[in-house]
Amino acid sequence: MALTLAEAAKLSNDLLLVGVIETILKESPVLQQLPFIEIVGNGLTYNQEATAPAAAFFDVGDTWTESTPTFTQKTANLKIMGGDADVDNFLIATRSNLQDLESAVVQLKAKAVRQLFEDTFVNGDAVANAKAFDGLDKLTTSGQTLSMGANGGSLTLDKLDELVDLIKGGKPDLLLLSRRSRRIINKLARTSGTFLEADRNDFGQMVQFYDGIPVGVSDYISDTQTVGTSTDCSTIYGLQFGEGGIAGLTAPGGLQVERVGSLESKDASRIRIKWYASSALFNTVKLAKLTGVRP
């Protein structure tokens, strides 16, 4: 069963771990929704659905023809990510509130882990960096890619609707884009005489919706991508989460916070945040992207 980090936090009695997860979720539209599947071992070999089976009408006495879906075998390996947070013993001794100091240091490290995951989730390339996993840009197939043109172009709501329609089996669970792209969509909506819907999510944050689909901002989607002769392009992703779409993979126990203890080399105590994680796309029609979005 796949669980989001928020659901996993409710099952933990470790207050420090719960605090770290809350910090990670606070500013991440991806991690707020992405479900994680626990796997035993260092990776998962799975069948990615390539083509769907067909059905037909038959007369009495007809010979029935068999049709089955086709699959492509994929392997996603867990990657080791995390970092250490050292709390100086002198500051512990001279400050009246230990928990505030420790929380501040661990919170900063938790943000760094979140930033690393989000960056890799979008831009990861296991060929360029064998220590990382493939991100959305590498997982999207050519049949699920739209373009604004050979040299990019100005976004239109019609093109955004095309991106939405590339996701089969329901609408995307999230449109992931840069801050600039969100401003462009807001401007297009105002020009057409409407506004993007807005409501609070499960975390009490205000979220905008396009055609009922949450719009999530990622600071790791570049606005300086090169498409043809243009160097000011960006990408918008449509994602459907779940065990039949895109999901995270994690080792048993998920995100972990470990007290390493006192250090020999310096007068400090160490806390380690570690995560054995990756991502997997189980069906190609659950992920699509629109490239060449210019200002």
Domain shared by 186 and 214, yes or no: yes
Residue among 106, 107, 116, 105 nearest 82 (CA): 116
pLDDT tens for each residue of 184-228: 999 999 998 888 899 998 888 899 999 999 999 999 999 999 999
Domain shared by 42 and 119, yes or no: yes
> Is residue 191 within a helix (H) or strand (E), and if so which, with residue range?
helix 179-191
Domain shared by 229 and 265, yes or no: no
Residue at token pair 């990615």: 48
Secondary structure of residue 202 in the 3-state scheme: coil
What pLDDT is stored for residue 130 in this prediction? 95
Residue 270 near residue 86, CB atoms below 8 Å: yes
Q: How far does CA 249 lie from the centroid of its chain?
A: 11
pLDDT tens for each residue of 17-49: 888 888 888 889 999 999 999 998 888 888 887
- 194: domain CATH number is 3.30.2320
Among candidate residues 239, 260, 290, the one where a domain is terminated: 239
> Taking each helix axis from N to C terminus, what angle separates 179-191 and 157-166, rounded to the nearest 10 degrees?
120
Secondary structure of residue 41 in the 3-state scheme: coil
Single-letter code of the amino acid located at 141:
T
Q: Is the pLDDT of residue 155 over 90?
A: yes
Residue 125 near residue 279, CB atoms below 8 Å: no
- What's the CA gap between 169 and 275, in Å, rounded? 31
Residue 255 near residue 9, CB atoms below 8 Å: no
Domain shared by 190 and 205, yes or no: yes
Domain range enclosing 227: 156-239
- 81: domain CATH number is 3.30.2400.30
Of the chain, the percentage scoring pLDDT greater than 70 comes to: 98
Residue 247 near residue 37, CB atoms below 8 Å: yes
pLDDT tens for each residue of 237-259: 999 999 999 999 999 988 888 88
- Evaluate whether residue 31 is within a structural domain: yes
| DSSP string computed for 129-159 | -TTS---HHHHS-GGGEEES-TT-EE--HHH
- Evaluate whether residue 76 is within a structural domain: yes
- Evaluate whether residue 114 is within a structural domain: yes
Number of domains in the chain: 2
Secondary structure of residue 167 in the 3-state scheme: coil
Single-letter code of the amino acid located at 28:
S
Among candidate residues 188, 222, 239, the one where a domain is terminated: 239
- Evaluate whether residue 286 is within a structural domain: no
What pLDDT is stored for residue 97 in this prediction? 60
